[in-house]
């Protein structure tokens, strides 16, 4: 009973997570939603899970639940990876904006190249200078 309650609680957490994630990536959310619902069902009707487990060939139903849990973890991991990716897109946009704000005209057009330095993000000294004014 304690194990069942604990597992149910964990799976419910995943359900909440899936619900919260739905707007950002529906595919990941739906997948974890379905997997955790199946997990919940098996936790409370273990005999069915044992039957399914035997059918699949993994031995006991408890093993099946464990494997399901591993699957859910992997899905969460994948989603984290995708979030990182989204963050990287943000960094790209930021870096591009900085780069495009600091275009150097080459010598080819007869325009003197202004600076020998890479475009810089406003440094602390610059900021202090501006604040002092």
Partner 1 sequence: MQNDGLPSVWVICAAFNEAATIARVVADLRRGGYDVVVVDDGSTDGTRHVAATVATAVITHPVNLGQGAALKTGIDYALSQGAEILVTFDADGQHRAEEIPRFLRALGHQRADFALGSRRLGQSRDMPFARRVFLVAATLFTVATTGLRLTDTHNGLRAFTRRGAVALSLRQNRMAHASEILADIANSGLHYIEVPVTVDYTAYSLAKGQRTGDFLMIVLDLFAKKLHR
Contact (Cβ atoms closer than 8 angstroms) between residue 98 and residue 44? no
Binding to partner 1 (CB under 8 A): which residues in 21-40?
Answer: 25, 27-28
> Stretches 4-12, 41-49, 65-73, 75-83: which one binds partner 1 (CB under 8 A)?
75-83
- Candidates 51, 60, 96, 127; binder of partner 1 (CB under 8 A) is 96
Binding of residue 119 to partner 1 (CB under 8 A): yes
Helices 61-100 and 46-56 meet at what angle, rounded to 10?
80
Q: How far apart are CA 28 and CA 26, in angstroms?
A: 6
Least Å distance, CB 96 to partner 1, is: 5
Contact (Cβ atoms closer than 8 angstroms) between residue 126 and residue 119? no
Binding of residue 88 to partner 1 (CB under 8 A): yes
Q: How far apart are CA 12 and CA 50, in angstroms?
A: 22
Least Å distance, CB 18 to partner 1, is: 15
């Amino acid at each position: 009973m304690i194990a069942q309650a604990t597992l149910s609680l964990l799976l419910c957490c995943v359900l909440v997570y899936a619900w919260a994630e739905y707007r950002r990536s529906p595919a990941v959310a739906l997948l974890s939603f379905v997997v955790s619902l199946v997990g919940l069902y098996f936790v409370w009707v273990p005999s069915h899970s044992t039957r399914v487990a035997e059918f699949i060939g993994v031995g006991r139903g408890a093993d099946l639940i464990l494997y399901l849990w591993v699957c859910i973890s992997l899905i969460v991991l994948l989603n984290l990876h995708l979030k990182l990716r989204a963050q990287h897109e943000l960094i790209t946009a930021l870096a591009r904006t900085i780069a495009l704000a600091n275009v150097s005209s080459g010598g080819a057009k007869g325009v003197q190249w202004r600076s020998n330095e890479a475009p810089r993000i406003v440094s602390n000294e610059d900021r202090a200078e501006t604040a002092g004014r």
